[in-house]
Structure 1
Amino acid sequence: MSKSPLALSVALATLGSLTLPSIGQAAFVEDGKASLELRNFYMNRDFRQEGGNRGQAKAEEWAQGFLLRYESGYTEGTVGFGVDAIGTLGLKLDSGGGTSGTGLLQRDRESGEAQDSYGDLGVTAKLKVSNSVLKAGSLMPKLPSVAANDSRLLPQSFQGGWLNVQEIAGLTLDAGQLSRVNQRDSSDHEAMLMTTGTGRGFTGTTGVDSDEFNFAGASYKWNDRLTTAYHYGALDDFYKQHILSAVHLLPLGDKQSLKSDLRFARSTDDGDTNVDNKAFGAMFTYSLGGHAFGLGYQQMSGDTGYAYIAGTDPFLVNYVQIGDFAFKDEKSWQARYDYNFASLGIPGLTFMTRYLSGDNVDRGAGLSEGKEWERDTDIAYVFQEGPLKNFGIKWRNATVRSNFGNDLDENRLILSYLLPLW
């Protein structure tokens, strides 16, 4: 019998008392840390096109999440051993009447309605030699080749192994393999899929899944201003991908700088798919005091759109709140503005707004050119001191219009609190 989400979280809460004393290593215990994160998440997605999204006028849900994390130190000696763990629990506060499907809650496979609760227990064994760390178990990588998504109530995670090497100053090497994925609105560990959908031009993906994603990469920080990187990812039976990137920060004077973020990816087919894509992206951000002004451009070329593991965050400059602007032959640009109110003596308060427009999407023979646009606004505040320290409030708003996808207006209200336990 499988454990309930609550039982899994309770099991993680008792992990320290059951495991740590048996280790008998001071560094393992003293260097460890634990925290409890609370997330209260309301989301409303209003479908504006005639007929809604396959008959659904809106998706609206409210949920409470709990994330209990533990990271141990390492045992003493040349080879250090440790363990990390995360227990997650999501509770439904409001959902029903055909409004499920926001990605906040796990849905029943038969009815499609949100379940009352869901969660997972992830444990990771780790081994450290010098500045090299090998992890096996539950992983949440944040790499150009694969980035776990954490934009809903609970985070996406993977099962696999990951080696991170930092033996040479400035050089970071990564390599590993993933076998299963637990999506952000699920408690099931499943085989991986590739993102698909109208306008991407993929074939050969129907009925196919994969239990093998191999990745490797190298990042080198030349100095405080320039970092370059190469990463490789291959989802068995779907695609192979090479990614080049460079980030440069140019100081321009007192509280002024220009940041350049350049990215290029080449994706090709594997198995019976037709994946063939070149993705170029550039983002330039000028900062002046608390202000930041950004301009971005992204272009897709080849026989298909950009390929990545379904549910993950793609490494694209124009991947934003709703869209990724990565359809076949799409060209898109972005204008963005950020302001940090710490410049006015209000630390913790931030504002962001951006507008993106994409066109030239190849929708197939006989169909007109695909076009879309998106407008996003974020306002967030995190208390910096006092009894509410680490309590955060964020409102996220988005508007999307497209002649080949959903038209929607979306609002998210997120309350979060991080409580360090030790």
Structure 2
Amino acid sequence: MRKTSLALAVAASTLGLSLSQVATAAFIEDSKASIEARNFYYNSDFREDAGQSKSEEWAQGFLLRMESGYTEGTVGFGVDALATFGFKLDSGDGTAGSGLLNPDRSGGSQDNYGGLGLTAKAKVSESVLKVGALQLKNQAVGSSDSRLLPQVFRGANLVSKDIAGLTLDLGYLDEVNNRNSSDYQDMRLNTFTNSGITVSGANQANQFIFAGGNYKLTDNLTGGYYYSNLEDLYKQHSFNLVHVLPLADKQSLKSDLRYARSTDDGSSNVDNKAFGAMFTYAISGHSFGLGYQNMSGDTGFAYIGDSVDPFLVNYVQVGNFAAKDETSWQARYDFNFASIGIPGLTFMTRYLTGDNIDRGANPEGKEWERNMDIAYVVQDGTFKNLGIKWRNATMRNNFSRDIDQNRLIVSYTLPLF
């Protein structure tokens, strides 16, 4: 699609270049932009009489994403932007707290929120350095995008693919803008229920570093390692092996093994060994998965707090199954309806159970969770890219509130250029 002169001028002025200097460069030719409208209804029904009976909110969000190409030359420069805006459609008295909206001081939710994140980038060969607003997804840190607006970090990230089969990934983060916030703030260690994790002094850090990568050992086997450190709170070594074994026609067996060793960094008691394994057999449009996860050590799993997605096989819609000494199992089934002529329609269901949770003087902790996702994305025509997803979860345990949860997300992505 032809780019507007306004879009070109904005991109050029952001980099401090005149339009004539970049008119023929890949900076312009490779740029792209889209706007996503995301309508989100969230309902968590707490199955006891005590306390808040439910968390229920409905909101509308908009996400404008712009990515430039790179200027010509040995070192190419570019800029990306993410502008977000969300506003409340419904949030009655006493039903806030879904994570969809920015909370206010009275225990409710603000009418609207949003932000603008800019990212400068430079590329040499197959190495890219980004500085500014970052969305990350690796073994050390995963930005959450499971609510109205995504979680965004501030920092620098270098990804290099100059060596065939090897991806190197280095990062430095100093602030986080959580998915229901308009402001950047210090990061914190997640001290979730039954984690056994305690912090001496302030639970906050303004430095998170990570270094690691993945290497394709063979055509079917990839190995990964990451080191990460949340300043003064925890250090972590994370290992990952993924193997895909082709079987008969349209059949495969995927093995995903994960191990992480977490220790304190001076101001916490973190001490955890986390092992996880997920085996998935796929045949045509069907996938059958079996997962296992075990926690050992003096605490549960360590990761950045609030809304980061931890690199765990049994981290699901409600629970993380990563409490102190917890052992958990997962059975999962997926079906892609494209295999029977209905592209864009997918289904997933899974069941998890965990036990042996160390609750100190209290009885052993137990929990289970059942999830179901149904999603459809229109593939072509007037409503191409219109997506509808229903997410359902049931969580039961003997140490906290039982939950029946539903999320309905309607999204539409419009490419601008």
1:8-407 equivalences under 5 Å are: 16-20=8-12, 22-23=18-19, 24-25=21-22, 26-51=25-50, 55-108=51-104, 110-204=105-199, 207-310=202-305, 311-364=307-360, 366-407=361-402
How far apart in 1 are the matches of 2:158 and 2:152?
17
Deviations 1:183-215 (A, max 9, x none): 000001000011113211012255320000010
Does the 8 A contact of 2:11 with 2:68 survive in 1?
A: no
Q: Say if 1:39 and 1:205 are closer, same or farther in 2 by CA, change over 3 A.
A: farther
Task: Tell me by how many angstroms 1:406 deviates.
Answer: 2.0
Checking the alignment, whether the CA contact within 8 Å between 1:269 and 1:276 is kept in structure 2 is yes
Task: Report deviation, 1:176.
Answer: 1.5
Task: Tell me which residue corresponds to 1:412.
Answer: 407
Name stretches of at least 5 consecutive residues in structure 1 with no aligned partner: 1-12
With 394-403 and 202-211 compared, the bigger mean Cα shift is at 202-211
How many angstroms apart in 2 are the aligned matches of 1:20 and 1:329? 55
Does the C-alpha gap of structure 1 residues 264 and 67 become closer, same or farther in structure 2, counting only changes over 3 Å?
A: same
Q: 1:16 to 1:90 in 2, by over 3 A?
A: farther
What's the CA shift string for 1:5-52, capped at 9, x where partnerless?
Answer: xxxxxxxx976533326353121111100000110000100011341x
| Distance (whole Å) between structure 1 residues aligned to residue 34 and residue 183 of structure 2 | 24
Please say if residues 34 and 416 of structure 2, whose CA atoms lie closer than 8 Å, have aligned partners that are also in contact. Answer: yes
**SS of the counterpart of 2:273?**
strand
Q: Distance in 2 between matches of 1:240 and 1:16?
A: 44
Deviation at 1:173, TM superposition (A): 0.4
SS in structure 1 opposite 2:312?
Answer: coil
8 Å Cα contact 1:308-1:314 kept in structure 2? yes
Verify the 8 A CA contact 1:252 1:258 in the aligned structure 2.
Answer: yes
Q: Which amino acid aligns with 1:48?
A: R
Give the CA deviation at 1:237. 1.2
Amino acid across the alignment from 1:38: A
Q: Root-mean-square deviation (CA), in Å?
A: 1.3
**How far did 1:222 drift?**
2.5
Question: SS at 1:184's partner residue?
Answer: coil
Provide the secondary structure at the position in 1 that maps to 2:100: coil
1:212-248 per-position Cα deviation (integer Å, ceiling 9, x unaligned): 0010002101233111100111000110000000110
Could you tell which deviates more after superposition, 24-33 or 288-297? 24-33
Change (3 A) 1:214 1:72: same
Displacement of 1:392 in angstroms is: 0.4
Residue identity in the other structure for 1:46: D
Q: Deviations over 1:57-101 (max 9, x none)?
A: 100000001000000000100011100000000011111211111
CA distance in 2, matches of 1:405, 1:17: 55
> Which runs of at least 4 in structure 1 moved beyond 3 Å after TM superposition?
13-17
For the residue of structure 2 that corresponds to 1:90, the secondary structure is: strand
The one-letter code sitting in structure 1 at the alignment partner of 2:32 is K
Q: Distance in 2 between the 1:232 and 1:39 partners? A: 35
- Whole-Å Cα distance in 2 between the matches of residues 136 and 262 of structure 1? 32
Output the CA distance in 2 between the equivalents of 1:267 and 1:349: 39
Q: Distance in 1 between matches of 2:200 and 2:288?
A: 40
1:5 maps to: none
CA distance in 2, matches of 1:232, 1:244: 9
| Equivalent-residue separation in structure 2 for 1:342 and 1:143 (angstroms) | 29
Distance 1:14 1:270 in 2: 49
* Cα separation, 1, equivalents of 2:179 and 2:7: 23
Change beyond 3 A, Cα 1:63–1:386:
same
In the alignment, structure 2 segments of 5+ residues that lack a partner are none
Distance 2:181 2:219 in 1: 40
